[in-house]
Amino acid sequence: MASKEANAINVHYTYLLNTMGANPDMPLDEIRILFNHQDYLGLDPGGVDYIEEDCNGITCMWVNPKGASEKHVILYIHGGGYLTGSIYSHRKLVGHLAKQTGCRALNVDYNLAPESPHPGPLNDCVKVYEWLLKEGYKPENIATSGDSAGGSLCTAFLIAARDRGLPLPAAGMPICPWYDLENSGDSMTSNDENDCLVKKAVVDNMAEAFLAGGDPRDPTANPLFADLSGLPPLYITVGSYETLLDDSTRFEKKARAAGVEVKMDIFPEMQHVWHLMAGAAPEADKAIKQMADWVRPKIGL
């Protein structure tokens, strides 16, 4: 049974849906403000500095735990359906992950749709990775991670880096990834009553804005249709109550079939990106610790 602390995210997600439902014409700027306040769900990890930096024309945020390795980096790509979210909404989550891992993280503030539809966000992430390489960071000391739309981006980024001839990071950690832009998984229906936020109508609208008329099966936007061969080891964490659960289970099977090393943990009764409650809910702390324990040896820590 989920802890009482974890139930805070149910209340928050229900509030978000009700607020948007009561204001169907709410401007996107106001919706973005709503989603940026998700940082209140977690607690600050403490002992972590946050410093913004321009990385190849893309604003990013260095997340620096005191005493952490400066040679190892987690390249983090935030979620928010490609339309919302920022380096601020996910600052605490990334802080906990970096502190648990014992290295720096670089939180990417990629340009959002609909102002920057696909492939804009993907190209931004590749630019930041190229900047890291030019700064002297070694790919074997880099892992990538991200949640929801960012979970898909951190996967698509690996595919794009491979196809562009860049040396690949040592590992990837998609969190509750939203891969299927057609939103066709069985869990979209079977978990509809369990999931307090990710409803089909919501993600259908987000996908439409992100694709801007493009093909939802474009492999550069939807990794379920991509060639996954040659990708580094991946660790997926996802909640059993998510409408997007099947995105993870289908991707995991496809990746294994392509010869990719994949670990996937399904957390019972967890909502979409419950990791946001790091420091406040034991299930979030457990998920982040397991990610850190898994990735540390992958990047040479």
Q: Which residues are catalytic?
A: 148, 242, 272
Q: Which ranges constitute the DSSP H helices of the chain?
A: 8-22, 28-36, 91-101, 120-134, 149-163, 187-190, 200-211, 245-257, 282-298
Q: Which helix (H) or strand (E) holds 267?
A: strand 262-267
- Rounded Cα distance between 171 and 296, Å, is 10
Backbone angles phi, psi at 25, to 5 degrees: -100, 20
Give dist(CA 295, CA 301) in Å, integer. Answer: 8
Of the candidates 43, 125, 34, 26, which has an alpha carbon nearest to the alpha carbon of residue 78? 125
Which residues are CB-contacts of 167 (< 8 A; sequence separation ≥ 6)? 133, 139, 161
